[in-house]
Amino acid sequence: MPAHDFQPGREMSNEVDAKTARERAKAIAEQRRAERRNRKRKCVVCGVEESDKTPLTAHPEGIGPACKDEVTCQGRRASMGR
Ligand SMILES: [Zn+2]
């Protein structure tokens, strides 16, 4: 057991570190949530950005957001040549 391994007040600083790490993680999670809210989602089928005109909904196969209006979506995809 090396003598220099003992550091007074180490327990406390670890607690502070843990608290800081927790708060940092919380802040990052909060930031990611805000980014998700702000970032425009895109239809996974035709690639159109979500807007009032093109509302997105969950794709029935669970592959991501897709146009609520499937007919328009398919038409858009066809016109894109894909
Ligand atoms: Zn679409």
Domain ranges across the chain: 10-39, 41-82
Q: Give SS3 for 57.
A: strand
Token pair listed for 61: 């196969």
As residues whose CB is below 5 A from the ion ligand 1, the structure lists: 43, 45-46, 67, 73
The DSSP-derived string for 19-45 is HHHHHHHHHHHHHHHHHHHHSPPB-TT
- CA 62 / ligand 1 centre spacing (Å): 14
pTM of the model: 0.51
Mean pLDDT for 24-30 is 95
- CA 46 / ligand 1 centre spacing (Å): 4
pLDDT digits (tens, 9 = 90+) for 39-80: 788 999 999 999 999 999 999 899 999 999 999 999 999 997
- CA 75 / ligand 1 centre spacing (Å): 9
